[in-house]
Amino acid sequence: MDKRGGIPSSLPALLAASISRVVARFKAYKVSALGIWKLGGPMAPLGGAPRLVLLFSGKRKSGKDFLTEALQSRLGADVCAVLRLSGPLKEQFAQDHGLDFQRLLDASTYKETYRRDMIRWGEEKRRADPGFFCRKIVDGVSQPVWLVSDTRRVSDIQWFQEAYGAVTQTVRVVASKESRQQRGWVFTPGVDDAESECDLDNFGDFDWVIENHGDEQHLEEQLGNLLEFVRCRL
Q: What is the DSSP letter of 50?
A: P
pLDDT in tens, 166-182: 999 999 999 999 999 99
**Which among 92, 65, 85, 207 has a CA at the least distance from the CA of 153?**
85
What pTM was computed for the model? 0.72
What is the Cα–Cα distance from 15 to 202, expressed in whole angstroms?
Answer: 55
pLDDT the model gives residue 194: 86
Of 229 and 101, more confident:
229
Long-range contacts of 192-197, Cβ-Cβ distance < 8 Å, separation of 24 or more = 192/59, 192/60, 194/116, 194/119, 195/123, 195/153, 196/119, 196/122, 196/123, 196/152, 196/153, 197/59, 197/60, 197/152
Measured distance CA(231)–CA(225) in Å, rounded: 10
pLDDT tens, 181-219?
Answer: 999 999 999 889 988 899 999 998 999 999 999 999 999
Report how far residue 144's alpha carbon sits from residue 112's, in angstroms, rounded to the nearest whole number.
34
Instruction: Render pLDDT for 38-49 as a digit per residue (tens, 0 to 9).
Output: 333 444 444 468
Structural domain boundaries in the chain: 48-232
Does the domain formed by 48-232 have CATH 3.40.190.10? no
